[in-house]
Chains A and B, each alone.
Chain A
Amino acid sequence: MSIEVNGKTLETDEEGYLANINEWEEGVATVMAKEDELELTDEHWEIINFLREYYEEYQVAPAVRVLTKAVGKKMGKDKGNSKYLYALFPYGPGKQACRYAGLPKPTGCV
């Protein structure tokens, strides 16, 4: 599988996660969101960028409960809760946001 981003063809795995994290650019998230009929807002980008920083630091895509906790620590309780994150990423903040951020599927999510 693959996606088209700014005229480039980027390889993805069978679940739509980017095969090579280094090929990520903002357009990847935009294109993926469009396929899900989702308009990315600043709030979405805040989480996507947070995930990219998290991966850079720890080399692991966090499980949803870990993401929730980490977001809470960085951005406060208003954002570090399931309700807020699921409202932004209805397919699941662990999986959907990691996919947009170019990360692998979170370890521990099937």
Chain B
Amino acid sequence: MTDEAMMDDEMDGEEGVIKKFLYVNRKAPYGTIYALESLEVVLIATAFDQDVSLVFIDDGVYQLIKGQNTEGIGVKNFSPTYRALEMYDVEKLYVSKDSMAERGLTEDDLIVPVEVLDNDQMKTLMEEQDVILSF
């Protein structure tokens, strides 16, 4: 979308149907492209003003770890961008309690505030969604 078109949209004030979108992240950040692709899709899709949630399960929780420094491997460290999500009105970030525990992690290890969900809560969250996108 062009900047101009986006401004027009805002000015029209048209409200489409708002659906619940869940992005499921299950891969560590640099070994594959999934994590970065997911983040980019989330940022792009925020232009459509939908009800967005992100969950981090299994190795996906490693995406949110503090202190990532990619200088030595020559790829972009995109972890600071998770802190920008709030400004994109993406405020619902969830992590799996089991996945954190299995990896010896706590919320203090993460760069953004998250809500920790047990499996029953996670099941409910998934069931509520209109669209689930997996990465």
Contact = CB atoms under 8 A, between A and B. Distances in A.
Chains A, B in direct contact (C-beta < 8 Å) = yes
A60 B3 CA distance: 17
B81 A63 contact: no
Contacts of B43: 60, 63, 107-108
Contacts of B1: 108-110
A59 B46 contact: no
A37 interface: no
Contact of B47 (A57, A60, A95, A108): A108
B3 A64 contact: yes
B83 to A, nearest CB: 6
A59 B7 contact: no
A66 interface: yes
B88 to A, nearest CB: 6
A65 B89 CA distance: 11
A13 to B, nearest CB: 16
A82 interface: yes
Contacts of A86: 7
Interface residues of A, number: 22
A92 B88 contact: no
Contact of B87 (A64, A70, A93, A95): A70
Given A66-B88, A70-B87, A107-B44, A58 B3 contact: no
B84 interface: yes
B32 interface: no
B123 interface: no
A59 B77 contact: yes
Interface string A83-95: 0001000011111
24 contacts: A57-B80, A57-B83, A58-B83, A58-B84, A59-B78, A59-B81, A60-B78, A60-B81, A63-B43, A63-B47, A63-B88, A64-B3, A64-B6, A65-B10, A65-B47, A66-B84, A66-B88, A69-B87, A92-B2, A93-B3, A94-B3, A107-B44, A109-B6, A110-B1
3 nearest interchain CB pairs?
Answer: A92-B3, A58-B84, A108-B44
Interface of B: 1-4, 6-7, 10, 40, 43-44, 46-47, 76-81, 83-84, 87-88
